[in-house]
Amino acid sequence: MSLIAERLNRISPSQTIAISSKARALKAAGRDIISLSAGEPDFDTPEHIKKAAIRAIEAGETKYTDVAGTGALRRAVAEKFRRDSGIEYQPEEVIISTGGKQVIFNAMLATVQAGDEVVIPTPCWVSYPDIVALAEGTPVFVPCSQNHGFKLRADDLAAAITPKTKWVFLNSPNNPTGAAYSAAELRPICDVLLKHPDVWVFTDDIYEKLTYDGFQPATIVQVEPALRQRTVTMNGCSKAYAMTGWRIGFCGAPLALIRAMDKLQSQSTSNTSSISQAAALAALTGPEDGLHEMVRVYKARRDLVVDMLNSAAGITCARPEGAFYVFPAVHGCIGKTTAKGAKINNDEDFVIALLDEEGVAAVHGSAFVYPGHFRISYATSTEALVEACTRIQRFCAALV
- pLDDT one-digit tens code per residue, 106-138: 999 999 999 999 999 999 999 999 999 999 999
351 within a domain of the structure (yes/no): yes
Percent over 70 (pLDDT), the chain: 100
The CA distance from 84 to 332, in Å, is 41
39 pLDDT more than 90: no
Peptide bond between residue 123 and the one before it cis (omega within 30 degrees of 0) = yes
Is pLDDT of 38 > 90? no
Q: How far apart are CA 375 and CA 339, in angstroms?
A: 22
Per-residue pLDDT at 174? 98
Q: Is the pLDDT of residue 204 over 90?
A: yes
Same domain, 85 and 232: yes
Query: 142 and 97 in one domain?
Result: yes
One domain for residues 104 and 247: yes
189 found inside a domain: yes
> Do residue 139 and residue 274 come from a single domain?
yes
Residue 199 and residue 281 in one domain: yes
- Please answer whether residues 41 and 324 qualify as being in contact, where contact means their C-beta atoms are separated by less than 8 angstroms: yes
Last residue of a domain, one of 230, 254, 285: 285
Which of these three, 285, 301, 321, is where a domain ends?
A: 285
Residue 58 domain-assigned?
no
Pairing of strands 374-377, 363-364: antiparallel
Flag whether 54 is in a domain: no
Of 228, 254, 285, the position where a domain reaches its end is 285
pLDDT digits (tens, 9 = 90+) for 61-71: 999 999 999 99
- Residues 147 and 263 occupy one common structural domain: yes
Task: Assess if residue 229 is contained within a domain.
Answer: yes
d(CA 253, CA 107): 10
Q: Is the dihedral of CA 356, 361, 362, 366 positive or negative?
A: positive
Residue 81 in domain: yes
Is 56 among the domain residues? no
Domain with 343, as residue range(s), is: 6-44+290-397
Are residue 189 and residue 323 in the same domain, yes or no?
A: no
Same domain, 306 and 210: no
pLDDT, tens digit, 9 for 90 and up, residues 223-271: 999 999 999 999 999 999 999 999 999 999 999 999 999 999 999 999 9
Those residues whose C-beta lies under 8 Å from the C-beta of residue 124, and which sit 6 or more positions away, are 141, 169, 171, 174, 368, 369, 370
How would you classify the pairing of strands 117-122 and 138-143? Answer: parallel
CATH number at residue 338: 3.90.1150.10
Residues 237 and 350 in one domain: no
pLDDT of residue 11: 87
Q: How many CA atoms lie within 13 A of 194 on its CB side?
A: 12
Query: Alpha helix locations (H) across the chain?
Result: 15-28, 47-58, 71-85, 100-111, 127-134, 154-160, 183-194, 220-223, 255-266, 274-285, 289-309, 347-358, 382-397
The total of other beta-carbon atoms located within 10 Å of residue 72's CB is 15
Residue 50 lies inside a defined structural domain of this protein: no
Question: 17 pLDDT exceeds 80?
Answer: no
Domain count of the fold of the chain: 2
| Average pLDDT value for the chain | 96
pLDDT band at 83 (very low <50, low <70, confident <90, very high): very high
Determine which of 5-14, 243-252, 360-369 has the lowest per-residue pLDDT on average: 5-14
Kindly report the CATH number assigned to the domain that includes residue 242.
3.40.640.10
Q: Are strands 360-361 and 363-364 parallel, antiparallel or unpaired?
A: unpaired
pLDDT above 90 for 14: no
Residues 168 and 304 in one domain: no
Q: Which residues of 36-66 are buried (b: 16+ CB within 10 A; e: fewer)?
A: bbbbbbbeebbeebeebbeebeeeeeeeebe
| Pair (87, 153) in one structural domain | yes
Other C-beta atoms closer than 10 Å to the C-beta of 248 total 29
Do 279 and 294 reside in the same domain of the chain?
A: no
Q: Taking the chain, what is the end-to-end CA distance rounded to the nearest angstrom?
A: 51
